Structure 1
């Protein structure tokens, strides 16, 4: 049985076969789009965002789509998808849709150009990927904050794979950001990378004699501003579909970390610092 696919009402709510989104906007469940009323009373923009629930459940109440058929509108055309629609305020970024109940009964979703949905998402996915709040981690150094001229300083990155669930063009999209390459800028004009080596922490007893793949030796004393740029690759999955690669990367640079490079000097002294605080090399 086909249910009504458009409705208006002065308040939000649920009624079988209709979507209530306000007195000045009309929601079309076959396309997932809202349009303003033609009486001049509509706001400049619909304040809500919408998501089709393909599981056909509303608020956990077990509202199902069993028996709902969505035949093609035209011979040889695409079939519709049984869904119920949910709405949330646009002011909420990436809402938890499980907290919102349905605004329509089971209905058929027909995309005006269904063959273009994935293509349209693919065309913009890199832009959306680069706007994700990916945590770049941090650049760590051993020893820190002081290290020695002529000795190895071990650098390493702290970050990992991160996942995000977003809505793009009305579709549920899962994106994954994975660190792939690292570029270490040591602050003295030398760089390492891009390299897949994230580095790792080593025991303090090995700081002065263990040179790792991501170690650096400073040849002059001074304060140096070291940074790390991590290049993330990504994949995306539309409506629980297979993961697809994103053609491009997200490059994030950490805030600078000050590395203080000191030098050592040796001398013979007669007293310890406890015996003579003013002795050579003592803090006093």
Structure 2
């Protein structure tokens, strides 16, 4: 910087920390200014100094950052418990939520509906001839709460277990179909039919095995190992014997005739 003699006194007043030749003032004692000099040439006053930005790493106060206005910089890296990557930057220790495992016991309060169940002929069968059984079940979606989260439990029919009441059973991937819907005559064997070996009244039942999975309100999904069962029982089937005889009159004409 260069000023004429007329302002020399003002400069000395404005910059009392600057060392005037012949004085012992150390302008760096309590200032960021160091190596301060003032030289009066007779026609001008020459003033020079070094400035170290506060917080700068300049070897204990010295340095050559003349006129610097930079913010203090730190060479320290991330804290020991931080993890950094070029995509998300630095992060600390966070608790990450994961989808919990779900068991059949956890969804015990979510109960799918029982299947419908019927038989052909209507509650009556003939010894040694197929009686047809038909069950029906649909997918079900039951809303509720699990582990403190809103969820929907989904049930899908996976298989049907028919128990005919005489100790025999059959497992089918479907609930079967009626003879008319199959275009078949009565007493035709079907994948869900059963022929009884003796007269009597039997209590048939069907169990639907549902596969289940849980949908959390976050959109996450968790399959449930195993099956949830729903049973409809107590369908009565009366089994009779049929005998043929050659007669000359029908039972209407002769109510006391053979087989009437």
TM-score of the pair, normalised by structure 2: 0.58
Q: Which residue of the partner structure matches residue 7 of structure 2?
A: none
The verdict on how the C-alpha distance between 1:207 and 1:148 changes in structure 2, with shifts beyond 3 A counting, is farther
| CA displacement at 1:246 relative to structure 2 | 1.1
User: What is the rounded CA distance, in whole Å, between the counterparts of 2:249 and 2:178 in structure 1?
Assistant: 37
Structure 2: how far apart are the matches of 1:250 and 1:186?
21
> 1:261 Cα shift?
0.8
- In terms of Rg, which structure is larger? 2
Report what 1:115 is aligned to: 97
Unmatched segments (≥5 aa) in structure 2: 1-90
**1:231 and 2:247 correspond:** no
Alignment check: 8 A CA contact 2:132 2:187 kept:
no
The answer to whether residue 145 in structure 2 is matched with residue 167 in structure 1 is yes
Tell me if the contact between 1:143 and 1:207 (Cα under 8 Å) persists in the aligned partners: no
1:197 matched to 2:174? The reply is yes
Distance in 2, matches of 1:243 and 1:201, equals: 37
After the TM superposition, which residues 1-284 of structure 1 pair with which residues of structure 2 at under 5 Å, given as runs? Answer: 76=92, 115=97, 118-119=99-100, 122-123=101-102, 125-193=103-171, 195-203=172-180, 206-239=184-217, 241-282=219-260
Number of residue pairs aligned between Structure 1 and Structure 2:
170
Displacement of 1:133 after TM fit? 2.7
Report if aligned partners of 1:154, 1:207 keep a CA contact under 8 Å in 2: no
| CA RMSD, Structure 1 to Structure 2 (Å) | 2.5
**Alignment partners' CA distance in 1, 2:251 and 2:155:** 53
Please give the per-residue CA displacement for 1:7-40, whole angstroms capped at 9, x wherever unaligned. Answer: xxxxxxxxxxxxxxxxxxxxxxxxxxxxxxxxxx
Q: Is the 8 A contact 2:203 2:233 kept in 1?
A: no
Any unmatched runs of 5+ in structure 1? 1-74, 79-112
Give the Cα–Cα distance (whole angstroms) in 2 for the partners of residues 128 and 254 of structure 1: 23
Moved more, 250-259 or 229-238: 250-259
Give the C-alpha shift of residue 165 in structure 1: 0.8
**Secondary structure, aligned partner of 1:115:** coil
The answer to whether the Cα contact below 8 Å between 2:151 and 2:216 also exists between their aligned partners in 1 is yes
Secondary structure of 1:150's match? coil
**How far, CA to CA, are the matches of 1:209 and 1:145 in structure 2?**
13
For residues 121 and 107 of structure 2, what CA distance do their matches in structure 1 show?
Answer: 35
Post-superposition offset of 1:273: 3.1
Q: Say whether the 8 Å CA contact 1:161–1:179 is kept in structure 2.
A: yes
